[in-house]
C-alpha cells in the first residue's frame, strides 16, 4: 500500500465540525476549513479553555476544504 501523506498530529490542537485548529511550525495558530458556525464554536472554545491562543483563518480556506489538501498545505510547513 502506497502512503500519499502523513498527518503530523502534534500540530492539531482541536477539531470543530469540519474545521481544525492547528499550530503551525512557526508557532502561529490557524483554523483551517469549516464554515461560519465552526469558526464561532472554535472562538468560544478558545475564549474558555485556551485564551492565550490567537488564531486566524487563511483567506483561501474560508469555505470547506478537502482534508487531503489540508495536510499538504498547512502541516508540512
Output the average pLDDT for the chain: 75
User: Which tens digits make up the pLDDT trace of 51-62?
Assistant: 899 887 766 545
User: What's the whole-number mean pLDDT along residues 35-45?
Assistant: 90
Check if the beta carbon of residue 53 is closer than 8 Å to that of residue 46: yes
Parse the chain into domains and list their residue ranges.
9-75
Going by DSSP bridges, is the β-strand pair 29-32/19-23 parallel, antiparallel, or unpaired?
antiparallel
The model carries a pTM of: 0.61
The residue ranges of DSSP E strands in the chain, in sequence order, are 12-16, 19-23, 29-32, 55-56
- Distance from C-alpha of 1 to C-alpha of 20, rounded to nearest angstrom: 27
Q: How many residues does the chain have?
A: 77
Amino acid at each position: 500500500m502506497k502512503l500519499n501523506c502523513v498527518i503530523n498530529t502534534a500540530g492539531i490542537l482541536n477539531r470543530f465540525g469540519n474545521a481544525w485548529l492547528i499550530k503551525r511550525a512557526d508557532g502561529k495558530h490557524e483554523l483551517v476549513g469549516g464554515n461560519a458556525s465552526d469558526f464561532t464554536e472554535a472562538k468560544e472554545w478558545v475564549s474558555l479553555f485556551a485564551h492565550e491562543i490567537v488564531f486566524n483563518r487563511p483567506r483561501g480556506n474560508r469555505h470547506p476544504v478537502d482534508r487531503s489538501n489540508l495536510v499538504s498545505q498547512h502541516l508540512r510547513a
